[in-house]
Amino acid sequence: MEVFRRELDLQTKGEGDIIDITGELMETISSSGLSNGLACAFNKGSTAALISIEHEPGLSLDLKAALQRLFPREIEYQHELAWGDGNGHSHIRASFLGPSITIPFHGGKVDLGTWQQVVLVELDIRRRSRKVIIQIVGQ
């Protein structure tokens, strides 16, 4: 069993920005020299998430609308009362979507569906520098 690690530095445009990292994930698997295993991508931060979605404009808008319905920006959050930073909803949304995703691969290729991509979803209200760690375990 071997482990390979890569860190991605990403710049987001703020709340609602969705960045497709599927290419970087596939490139990292290829660079690892491993044929079979698991690739885990992890966002270091509490106001962004990593998910799998068909990355197309309609679904991107649908995701943003669904997050607003589930976790409205306008309601009171204790985090905001304590810190006054206006991003309580960002933390809750990120907690529900999650900071990481694990994708199996075999034959050196990720096991994603035809219309399935791995994306970082920026949930904070401001532009952010994000670090995504891709760690691969396999043989």
The CA distance from 31 to 4, in Å, is: 9
Helix locations, 9-77, DSSP H: 22-32, 57-70
Question: Model pTM?
Answer: 0.95
pLDDT of residue 25: 98
Structure tokens at 139: 């043989």
The CA distance from 138 to 93, in Å, is: 32
- The four Cα atoms 101, 106, 109, 112 give a dihedral, to 10 degrees, of -50
pLDDT of residue 128: 98
**Total domains present in the chain:** 1
pLDDT of residue 68: 98
pLDDT of residue 123: 98
Question: Residue 107: CB partners within 8 Å, gap ≥ 6?
Answer: 35, 36
* DSSP secondary structure string for all residues of 73-100: TTS--HHHHHH--S-HHHHHHHHHH-SE
pLDDT of residue 42: 98
Give me the residues of the chain with pLDDT under 50, please: none
Return the closest-CA partner of residue 25 out of 137, 94, 117, 107: 117
Domain that holds residue 109: 2-138
The CA distance from 30 to 103, in Å, is: 14
Instruction: Assign residue 16 the CATH number of its domain.
Output: 2.60.120.460
Asked if 38 and 136 count as a contact pair (C-beta separation under 8 A), the reply is yes
- For the stretch 24-50, pLDDT in tens is 999 999 999 999 999 999 999 999 999
Return the closest-CA partner of residue 45 out of 130, 102, 125: 130
